[in-house]
Structure 1
């Protein structure tokens, strides 16, 4: 093989090796999504059933029913592996729903306020100042504690402040675009404001919003686990990593797997979502700088 043919292959190999670590978050998040979608269909779990004969079994122990507790059991005999799998579905569902609600509200308010300016922009600034004066988790605890425990209540409580970041990002994009030549030309031609926003402003917010959504998703999942750890928000029949971690805190010395293994699952998801968010932020930030 000639040297001219070897060099391109070496360059491609080096590029793949440099890009391989960047693909790790995508693989990990895809695995979590697969577990959340398919896992509950494969693993049968009843959070109300408490087989006390199987309580506090170590990982790999055999159950009284003949099965194997691959990740052990908790103080009520419930399988930790099943709790991790069902907890992944709960976390991903609440995370996606909260980010979607916050994104729709924040993008709408931010784009309209940034393009229109005036009193609407001033009102948005005052609202965000008032909401940011209180810790986000404190507002979530108050809202989740006032209403009946349910998944929609948790989504609402976490969305109360999550939309602010989306509004600020899209407002900044709208402020920079409203003075561009093509937007001025559209206004001169008599194009309706709604069409200008949809066609000439919103497409430029997709990149920053997607990057922000990954970071917000990680924060929402962590906040949901915190609410579940405190025992508020989700109903009793729902399975959450926060609940499992809370159930095992008094057994850390004798049954460490109850809190440790769900905690590891939670940490891996949050870390990889954060890394993915940083990558997307850097990518779209470079594009905005070049443009």
Structure 2
């Protein structure tokens, strides 16, 4: 009888190994953005009120009155690198706060609708359908423009429509899980409904919810930048990539770096988070099929 010896390691040049290495790229990029958001503002000082007009519209690498502008300055003499670093913290904070708020509201609504069913499911499902009838970005613009500009208003405006996706995903998962054998067994044994939801439903809904959270994070960051670009997002004393891009739109021919560099940073963050979300979604799909 012949024995076939399988190789212990996958060759370095195999497609699987290359795909595995390529899958690490968005995680590394996202980790760098998180590091910049946490540590960067402690190392790079920036005062959004101070406008040294003598240093205005300097190209990248120019010497300024306070040092070197590695990424140039804007029309008011402010350092573009400092705006990108501080804007990363703003985007991360608003994105995390909005996704967390939307996730909590959406998961609660979805679990109640999916597990209770009946009239509760009908009312909540119709409410979600009504909100979906309105264009999300227009509703956000109306809410953000109706109040004084602040971080809290931006988070609230983005959360008004952000919870809908979490509610739909959680409801679909809960409808499937409530018919499983272990849930029926727990129900027959007299386990309280709250314990069934916490122990037997929510753990299985965590996978798709996390995958949805990554995709929603990218959309929230892009929406916040769009609101700030339109001038109805954050106040003028807050740093935002959208504001920096808007400040440089009138200098695109002579000082391209003002809008281009924050735009590149915003694109890298959104693309990396989007790819990571697709990877998590695909992994969850494979896990369900196994």
Same fold (TM over 0.5): yes
Q: What's the counterpart of residue 113 of structure 1?
A: 113
Q: What's the counterpart of residue 127 of structure 2?
A: 127
SS at match of 1:226: helix
SS at match of 1:121: helix
| 1:75-132 deviations in Å (ceiling 9; x for gaps) | 0000000000000000010000000000000001101110100111111111111111
| 1:147-195 deviations in Å (ceiling 9; x for gaps) | 2211111000000111011011110110011111111111111111101
Q: What's the counterpart of residue 48 of structure 2?
A: 47
Residue 155 in 1 paired to residue 132 in 2?
Answer: no
Q: Tell me the distance in 2 between the aligned counterparts of 1:286 and 1:115.
A: 25
Q: What's the counterpart of residue 215 of structure 1?
A: 215
Shift of 1:8: 3.4
Q: What's the counterpart of residue 22 of structure 1?
A: 23
Q: Structure 1 regions of 5+ residues with no counterpart?
A: none
SS at match of 1:8: coil
Q: What's the counterpart of residue 176 of structure 2?
A: 176
Q: Which runs of 4+ in 1 moved over 2 A?
A: 4-18
Q: What's the counterpart of residue 139 of structure 1?
A: 139
Q: Structure 2 regions of 5+ residues with no counterpart?
A: none
Shift of 1:13: 6.1
Q: Does structure 1 conserve the Cα–Cα contact (< 8 Å) formed by 2:26 and 2:275?
A: yes
Q: Give me the CA root mean square deviation.
A: 1.5
Q: Tell me the distance in 1 between the aligned counterparts of 2:10 and 2:168.
A: 44
Residue 250 in 1 paired to residue 250 in 2?
Answer: yes
Q: What's the counterpart of residue 64 of structure 1?
A: 65
Shift of 1:10: 5.1
Q: What TM-score does the superposition give when structure 2 sets the normalisation length? A: 0.96
Shift of 1:16: 3.6
